[in-house]
Structure 1
Amino acid sequence: MHRPRGTGEYNKLSADGFYNCAGCGTALYKSVTKFDSGCGWPAFYEGLPGAINRSPDPDGRRTEITCAACGGHMGHVFKGEGFKMPTDERHCVNSVSIKFIPGDAPASS
């Protein structure tokens, strides 16, 4: 299920913790990599190493990101938009694809 922009529960969340795949519980993002991009969906500048796969959409306009463990759709990644982040990337992730886990160590379900 895809939610309209600005309606997801994690769009404005700024607590410390990890964002895990809602499908399988794999840790995908640290909260410190989350930023407010103004896109209406949670945005991250990088995922945890090896946690996210990238593949071009069939139309070639965007790059889809999926959970490396279960293949669940997370959203899309965009490069070169000028955000002052270390990677110059914006992972635009739908809130229904992730689950926030507070704390300083990634948890899996």
Structure 2
Amino acid sequence: MKRRYFLEAGGVILGTAWLSQYLIGKSQVIATASNEFEITKTEEEWREILTPEQFYVLRKHGTERARSSSLDKQYAQGTYICAGCDLPLFKSETKFNSGTGWPSFYAFIPGAIGTSADNSFLMSRTEVHCHRCGGHLGHVFNDGPKPTGKRYCMNGVALKFIES
């Protein structure tokens, strides 16, 4: 019986190790032609200017808990900017209630974002990042409203709202 338990436990450990390559975030952010963003900082410099939650999302490609951001229900007129570098990303006119628990937009400010392939968690998605600092913002999906049909599902902690 002990040998069988040992073999089963070993199989679980090996299987987990093999699957971890697919479960751990594997996004590839494509920067500029020189492979650098306009704003670059060391990990320590980012930690100094970002909250722990912002650092986790923007620099480590994390995701905040759904319905945890006050920006999800923010509908005042203004601009949503990158929490890492203050680049304007989205206008309030393009925000809509997606029901997902994250701030969602159907369009971005031209030139503000970049995208990359995210093949984590056994699925293929399109990651959205800030064009200027490379910070992870969220993902874009093809189930949004007209006129674009896109849903830019953003982490609220990666954004700041500037009311106009």
TM-score range, shorter chain: 0.7 to 0.9
Aligned to 2:96: 35
Q: Which amino acid aligns with 1:74?
A: L
Identity %: 48
Report the count of equivalent residues: 101
Shift of 1:97: 0.3
Q: Deviations over 1:14-48 (max 9, x none)?
A: 00000000000000000000000001000000110
TM-score (norm 1): 0.88
Aligned letter for 1:54? T
| C-alpha separation in 2, matches of 1:52 and 1:88 | 17
Establish whether residue 4 from structure 1 lines up as the match of residue 61 from structure 2: no
Higher strand fraction (1 or 2): 1
Structure 2 counterpart of 1:107 = none
Q: Which has the higher contact order (CA 8 A, sep 6+)?
A: 1
Q: Which has the higher helix share?
A: 2
Structure 2 regions of 5+ residues with no counterpart? 1-52, 54-62
Distance 1:72 1:9 in 2: 20
TM-score between both structures, scaled by the size of structure 2: 0.59
Question: Offset at 1:66?
Answer: 0.2
4+ aligned runs moved over 6 Å, structure 1: none
Establish whether residue 44 from structure 1 lines up as the match of residue 123 from structure 2: no
Structure with max Cα Rg: 2
Give, as a single letter, the amino acid of the residue that structure 2 aligns with 1:28: L
Q: Are the equivalent residues in 1 in contact too, given 2:128–2:137 (CA < 8 A)?
A: yes
Ranges in structure 1 where 5+ consecutive residues have no aligned partner: 104-109
C-alpha separation between the residues in 2 aligned to 1:84 and 1:14? 17
- How do residues 49-60 of structure 1 correspond to structure 2 at under 5 angstroms? 49-59=110-120
